[in-house]
Structure 1
Amino acid sequence: MSLGQQWLDRQPARYKFWTKRRRWIRGCISFCLGLFLWASFSIGSTSAQFNSRQVEVPDGFGVAIHFTDPKPGEMELLEASGIRWIRADLVWLRTEVKKGQYDFAAYDRLLDQLERHNLRAIFILDYGNPLYDSGFSPHTDAGRQAFARWAVAAVKHFQGRGVVWEMYNEPNILPFWSPRPNVQDYIKLAKTVGKAIHRTYPQEVIIGPALAGSVNKPGRKEFLEACFQAGLLEDWSAVSIHPYRITRPETVARDYRQLRLLIAKYAPPGKQIPIIAGEWGYPSSTAWRQGKVIDPTTQAKYLGRQWLNNLANEIPLSIWYDWQNNGPKADDPEHNYGLIGYSDPKQKRPTYEVKPAYRAAQTLNQTLEGFQFNKRLDVGRPDDYVLLFNQGNQVKIAAWTTTQSPHKAIIATSAGSFRTLDYLGQNRKTLNATAQGLSLSLTDAPQYLTPTKANALLQLAAAWETLPLEQIVPGSQTIDVPLQLRNPLPTPHSSEYRFPNRNHSPLDKPDPSSPR
């Protein structure tokens, strides 16, 4: 068995507005830049495209898979979850067994299934091939050219089917880049492949580098900066990272901020390059890193919080790792990242265990379908998350807290009733808001609120123009920040906005995360 085959067979480690009536937002509102990744695409279009339209739920959510031929009932279960994307390895050594001869039949079958079930694909161009460079990751001119020829052949074969191409998988760590990670070798390969694809197929979408681990850990930012300095952002439409951590999902905001600033430093003039959470999950395992345990219930809560928080941080596409558990051992984290349980591959008609995380994904997707993230509302505590979504003048709220103890929060709303739903689609009830607002008990699990009739104050909140997450102001200079309000109400309304006086951002606090 070649080294390349051994690496392939190893499963990757985974992954505030003031009104005359009341105070809306006191100052720690999070804004959405509006530079979401949105694919204006239908299956069978000429190519996938990025533009600045905000992504609608559930168009920015997906899962990682490890199959080309699904088991009976599997695609129906995938579609019913509401996700819109899959991410899968397009493995070099399995599709070029003889030099210069390419066989993509297995991936044709997979794409046929995806199209039938309203799913899009990210295909990862990855790993070595024993036919070249002794099976190691391509590191010679000959190996790089062979990899590029294979990549162009794949793009040619699948063009017009909405595939997004990802340049390798976790090249900054072993075992994925072999014999040892080398950023310059990766840069040479990525440049060769990007130029080769865009020379013939300039509209094809390439992303990278699928960086493993927290951006703020040693060596990670340096790897990215080397890639950006070398000009890889010229060919990439988005930057993909895998921000695994043992801490709660919300701690990722610091990673995203650092990466946004780094991209802005090196992006070609006028080019907007979003960040993609290309792979990230939590295992429902009895044993995990540093003695931590994540039970299935916590996994489900974290999924909803991760995806919602990503939207609030301008992340237009989130891929959960994993679709299915990779093994039967409860004490092995690598076996337990899935939304559904493990099924023996020898079973011809498997019975699927639907885990709470699957229900959490399905509830989020169905409840917020067609809605866009608008802004985060401040309710007085930085660890309380109240996210406002809208679809035109219709509004909904997703809310939770990162504290362990439930507590009350007051959301500024007009008087009226709200239907509520928990993160698993259960415990439906009605809450009534008064002239003082809506009193809501926040827990560590997301809950969803829908006004039973038009709520004027929430509509006004949604009508405020959304601003960037941060503005860069050199030295002692000042900048003008335009702020527009569209009045969605049939009567005139007067409002004023007050910015807080803050000396620092919560994002400046340390972010303890996992070694990855």
Structure 2
Amino acid sequence: MKLLLNVGGTHPSALSGDTVTDRTGVQFKNGDHARIDLAEGAGFGVIRKGLYWSRVEKTYGQYDFAWFDEIVNQAKARGMVVSATLFGNNSLYGHVEEGAVAIVTEKGRQGFAKFAAAAAAHYADEPVVFEIWNEPNLRQFWRAHPANPNKSNIDAMADEYTLLVRAVVPAMKAANPDVFVSAGSISALWRESFSWFDRTIQQGMLESGIDAISVHPYGFAWPELADVRGYSFVRQKLAAAGRSDLMIVNTEVGFPATDWISDRGYSHEEARKLQGALLIRQQLLDHLHKLEYSVWYEFRSSDTYGLINNEFELRPAYTAAKTMHNELDGFRLVGRETTGRQEDFLLLFTNGKEEKMVAWTSPPLLRNRAVPHTIKTDYEILGVVDSFGRNVAVSGHTLDLSEYPIFVAVKSIAGGAVGRDQTSSD
């Protein structure tokens, strides 16, 4: 059997468990915690939620976390972790630019650092990890900078954000040496955002005491491109800076079930279903590539991103998430097998007694759609479940691969290996 071990280094973990369920998360917004039971029911182990400075410190020097405690306590009761995004300015510390949330003064930086340190201390014994800011490389989440107000990812923005990180992280670590802190929150992984990231490295962000770089791998047509054109470049930059020890976390990514998918030749109904397949693929690929945890955007929305709509009605992507977590509950990743096609993904898992494979194929490079085909394996196939929890007929030692992942209960046969394609079709 030709097996490629899951990639990435070995390092201390931010989270206690190492299964898919432990390390996959979903973005919460205001009011979503009212139905945290649905997030738990879908199997997520992490929720991401903004922790807003101005909402915590309404009186100078006094910090009230009661509103966020409610979310943390609900998550803790369900064995879930909260990824808290420290975010926003505070008018108590001076003028806030109209239409901007950036912190660009020393008084503001020190005030934010004290708030972040208070959060680190307050949640020292709670299942909370932290991220500094949300997408500071974008104008709408930092500011339209006077140096170039019409452009994101400019050096001046990187300089300001790095100054904030260098003030905040030491304060958090002093308040709680065991606190886990990520920085970057880089929106989209492409040439210009990489330039922004390079500038933060030059300005010393990696030496601030952070534990991880957070990324939002938007912009890729399919999840499989995130490593080829994204994570691998981040790791190269970390290695070049002598910081291969830093982890990578994906704190936000999603695919809308709209023209982002339908423009590639899918109907709107197909797009709703394919969104579920993309969720499974994104989160399993992040797990394969050793990202510390991976957060799907988002839990609830009026647009097509959410797993549920504003009335808390379930969408196909919710069912897909629940299927993935049900099928892989208690299973740990062994590695990826090869078929001779780069676009085929066969991920092998075990719970110590049983083996399970998750199999799919992605679009080849320069193509918009995957090419369904059949492969033959020397595994004994015990059962197959599709992306939405339905049983699929077993056909000998063959598996039909498409862009929709299937969950395959298998039994190893001595000397068994994955064979080459038997048929293929467009």
Greater relative contact order (Cα < 8 A, sep 6+): 1
User: What TM-score comes out, normalization by structure 2 length?
Assistant: 0.85
Question: Alignment partner for residue 406 of structure 1, among 372, 381, 393?
Answer: 372
Aligned residue number for residue 99 of structure 1: 60
CA spacing shift, 1:427–1:381, aligned 2, 3 Å: same
Are 2:379 and 1:429 equivalent residues in the alignment? no
Are 2:193 and 1:236 equivalent residues in the alignment? no
CA shift digits 1:8-38 (9 cap, x unpaired) = xxxxxxxxx5xxxxxx46xxx4642353773
Question: Alignment partner for residue 392 of structure 1, among 342, 352, 360?
Answer: 352
Q: Identity over the aligned pairs, expressed in percent?
A: 29
Residue type at the aligned position of 2:210? W
Give the alignment of 1:189-200 within 5 angstroms: 189-200=164-175
Aligned residue number for residue 382 of structure 1: 342
SS for the counterpart of 2:29 is coil
Cα shift at 1:70 = 2.9
Are 2:256 and 1:272 equivalent residues in the alignment? no
Are 2:231 and 1:256 equivalent residues in the alignment? yes
Tell me, yes or no, if the aligned pair for 2:360 and 2:401 is still in contact at 8 Å.
Answer: yes
Residue type at the aligned position of 1:239? I
Q: Which runs of 5+ in 2 are unaligned?
A: 146-151, 364-369, 419-426
Are 2:10 and 1:35 equivalent residues in the alignment? yes
Give the alignment of 1:66-465 within 5 angstroms: 66-67=29-30, 70-71=33-34, 74-135=35-96, 136-180=101-145, 182-214=157-189, 216-218=190-192, 220-234=193-207, 235-254=209-228, 255-268=230-243, 272-285=245-258, 287-288=259-260, 295-325=271-301, 327=302, 335-343=303-311, 352-392=312-352, 394-403=354-363, 404-411=370-377, 413-414=378-379, 416-432=380-396, 438-451=397-410, 453=411, 455-457=413-415
Q: In structure 2, what is the Cα distance between the partners aligned to 1:284 and 1:264?
A: 36
Aligned residue number for residue 9 of structure 1: none
CA spacing shift, 1:252–1:222, aligned 2, 3 Å: same
Q: In structure 2, what is the Cα distance between the partners aligned to 1:156 and 1:362?
A: 34
CA spacing shift, 1:37–1:56, aligned 2, 3 Å: farther
Aligned residues: 392
Q: In structure 1, what is the Cα distance between the partners aligned to 2:262 and 2:143?
A: 27
Cα shift at 1:82 = 0.6
Tell me, yes or no, if the aligned pair for 1:122 and 1:164 is still in contact at 8 Å.
Answer: yes
Residue type at the aligned position of 2:167? T
SS for the counterpart of 1:253 is helix
Q: In structure 1, what is the Cα distance between the partners aligned to 2:227 and 2:339?
A: 19
CA spacing shift, 1:31–1:165, aligned 2, 3 Å: closer
Tell me, yes or no, if the aligned pair for 1:68 and 1:106 is still in contact at 8 Å.
Answer: no
CA spacing shift, 1:88–1:139, aligned 2, 3 Å: same
Aligned residue number for residue 21 of structure 1: none
Q: In structure 2, what is the Cα distance between the partners aligned to 1:240 and 1:288?
A: 24
Q: Which has the higher helix share?
A: 2
Cα shift at 1:407 = 1.0
Tell me, yes or no, if the aligned pair for 1:276 and 1:318 is still in contact at 8 Å.
Answer: yes
Cα shift at 1:231 = 3.4
Q: In structure 1, what is the Cα distance between the partners aligned to 2:197 and 2:324?
A: 32
Q: In structure 1, what is the Cα distance between the partners aligned to 2:211 and 2:255?
A: 27
Q: In structure 2, what is the Cα distance between the partners aligned to 1:375 and 1:267?
A: 27
User: What TM-score comes out, normalization by structure 1 length?
Assistant: 0.71
SS for the counterpart of 1:75 is helix
Q: In structure 2, what is the Cα distance between the partners aligned to 1:156 and 1:110?
A: 17
Residue type at the aligned position of 2:179? E
Give the alignment of 1:33-72 within 5 angstroms: 33=8, 35=10, 38-39=13-14, 41=16, 55-67=18-30, 70-71=33-34
Tell me, yes or no, if the aligned pair for 2:5 and 2:334 is still in contact at 8 Å.
Answer: no
Aligned residue number for residue 489 of structure 1: none
Aligned residue number for residue 4 of structure 1: none
Cα shift at 1:392 = 3.2
Q: In structure 1, what is the Cα distance between the partners aligned to 2:263 and 2:15?
A: 44
Tell me, yes or no, if the aligned pair for 2:15 and 2:22 is still in contact at 8 Å.
Answer: no
Cα shift at 1:194 = 0.5
CA RMSD of aligned residues (A): 2.4
Q: Which runs of 5+ in 1 are unaligned?
A: 1-16, 18-23, 42-53, 328-334, 344-351, 433-437, 462-516
Q: In structure 2, what is the Cα distance between the partners aligned to 1:317 and 1:70?
A: 20
Tell me, yes or no, if the aligned pair for 2:27 and 2:298 is still in contact at 8 Å.
Answer: yes
CA shift digits 1:66-85 (9 cap, x unpaired) = 136733xx122111111000
Cα shift at 1:457 = 4.3
Tell me, yes or no, if the aligned pair for 1:68 and 1:109 is still in contact at 8 Å.
Answer: no
Cα shift at 1:425 = 0.7
Aligned residue number for residue 422 of structure 2: none
Cα shift at 1:454 = 5.2
SS for the counterpart of 1:59 is helix
Q: In structure 1, what is the Cα distance between the partners aligned to 2:27 and 2:136?
A: 18
Tell me, yes or no, if the aligned pair for 1:133 and 1:139 is still in contact at 8 Å.
Answer: no
Tell me, yes or no, if the aligned pair for 2:222 and 2:278 is still in contact at 8 Å.
Answer: yes
Cα shift at 1:402 = 1.5
CA spacing shift, 1:65–1:132, aligned 2, 3 Å: same
Q: In structure 2, what is the Cα distance between the partners aligned to 1:378 and 1:288?
A: 29
**4+ residue runs over 6 A deviation:** none
Residue type at the aligned position of 1:217? R
Residue type at the aligned position of 2:88? Y
Tell me, yes or no, if the aligned pair for 1:275 and 1:315 is still in contact at 8 Å.
Answer: yes
Q: In structure 1, what is the Cα distance between the partners aligned to 2:13 and 2:215?
A: 18
